[in-house]
Amino acid sequence: MSMMCKLAKGAFLAASLLAASAVYADEIDFAGNMHGITVKPGDNDMAPAIKPKHGPPWKIGMSHFGLSNTWTIQMAHDAEFEASKHKEIGQFLLRNADLQQSKQVADIEDLIAQGVDALIVTPLTPTSADAGIEKAMKMGIPVVVHTGLTETKAYSVDLQGGGVHFGKVMGDYLVKQLGGKGNIWVLRGVPSHPEDINRYKGLVEALKGTDIKITMEQYGNWEYDAAHKVCENQFLADPNVQGIWSSGADMARACIDVFQANGTPIPPITGEGNNGFFRRWKDLDLKSISPEYGPEQGAAGVRIALDLLEGKPLHHRYIYEPAPITEADRDNYFRADLSDNYWFPTSLTEELKKKYYGQ
């Protein structure tokens, strides 16, 4: 089925069709420990019914925008592991666009040509996958979109982590910590990626009416090495900063390491559900907050695709906006026995966590 070993099939919880009056208040549990999913407020549309051309086992394809950092790699692991659990899935084909729009276009064409019964897409840009999504739907292939927005609405189901919510939670935290004034650095993700655009919108919203000034705004591609260079250069040029808004945990820990290397106190800095960041947060007693954006979205995408093939009723659009992780519950997530590259929440078993992230 994939590069991963086949493991015993585990029980899973499918999304339930809830009454419109209750659906916004209740979380929809697509998977064991993935919480915070609700139907997008104001959107009562249902996913269009598509009858598979044949019964199981099915072939599911996934167009991944790029295995460029530790989070994107683990999200792919989550998707592959989920696919391995279901005998209804005969093949799971993963394609890596490597942060190239033209490659994603070609990957989706290839997956369609391979005769996939369902397609999962994590778009690189708001338009990089639109043509392929629309083509697949016209051919009767259900399409699940997550971890990136599209301009087309022709997909079957869309599951999005609330980027604006994510960015605003971090922005609001810094506003409170700084008392509404001071200088901050802003570390953005991949240029033109929808998640980066929306997280930044959330920051802008949080800063309205304050006296907080952005003195540095650069892209770190959600990568440790790229962000380390950005923070190092900025520290040498202008270390006068009272807070750091980081769009990703790998970038946040890179900045932390720069400050540590220079023997300078670390200002309040925003994080994410990453073990390496949490290790520093705990050991250095940092001032921080971590919005949740779990790699288990990869597994949820597979479950949704399978639900569609099985004819289960699903809504057209879902959002994923769990409460942030604070210092009070930080230690419930941190794993001292696993490496910095481990992210959460995840659907990976203990065996796989230790295989990929054991120290």
Q: Is the pTM of this model over 0.75?
A: yes
- Residue-wise pLDDT for 224-241, tens only, equals 999 999 999 999 998 989
Mean pLDDT of the chain: 89
**Whether pLDDT at 215 is above 50:** yes
Residue 181 lies in a domain: yes
Q: Which of 223, 241, 272 is the last residue of a domain?
A: 272
| pLDDT at res. 193 | 86
Residue 181: strand pairing partners: 211
pLDDT-based confidence at residue 6 (cuts at 50, 70, 90) = very low
Instruction: Give the pLDDT mean for 20-43.
Output: 57
Q: Are residues 155 and 299 in the same domain?
A: yes
Q: Are residues 113 and 256 in the same domain?
A: no
305: domain range? 37-161+294-357
- Residue-wise pLDDT for 286-326, tens only, equals 999 999 889 999 999 999 999 999 999 999 999 888 889 99
| pLDDT at res. 5 | 38
Q: How many Å from the N-terminal Cα to the C-terminal Cα in the chain?
A: 28
- Residue-wise pLDDT for 152-181, tens only, equals 999 999 998 888 999 999 999 999 999 999
Instruction: Give the pLDDT mean for 196-208.
Output: 96
Percent above pLDDT 70 for the chain: 91
| Biggest distance spanned by C-alpha atoms of the chain | 63
**Whether pLDDT at 143 is above 50:** yes
| pLDDT at res. 34 | 59
Structure tokens at 186: 């802003």
Q: Are residues 179 and 242 in the same domain?
A: yes
Residue 237 lies in a domain: yes
Q: Which of 222, 240, 272 is the last residue of a domain?
A: 272
- The C-alpha angle 80, 295, 139, rounded to 5 degrees, equals 55
Q: Which of 240, 272, 304 is the last residue of a domain?
A: 272
**Whether pLDDT at 69 is above 90:** no
**Whether pLDDT at 8 is above 80:** no
Q: How far apart are CA 149 and CA 101, in angstroms?
A: 14
Q: Are residues 183 and 257 in the same domain?
A: yes
Q: Are residues 167 and 232 in the same domain?
A: yes
The CATH number of the domain where 115 resides is what? Answer: 3.40.50.2300
Q: Are residues 137 and 193 in the same domain?
A: no
pLDDT-based confidence at residue 200 (cuts at 50, 70, 90) = very high
User: Does an H or E element contain 301, and which?
Assistant: helix 297-309
193 φ, ψ (degrees, to nearest 5)? -70, 135
Residue 338 lies in a domain: yes
Q: Which residues of 105-116 are buried (b: 16+ CB within 10 A; e: fewer)?
A: bebbeebbeeeb
**Whether pLDDT at 211 is above 90:** yes
Q: Are residues 138 and 170 in the same domain?
A: no
Q: Are residues 91 and 107 in the same domain?
A: yes
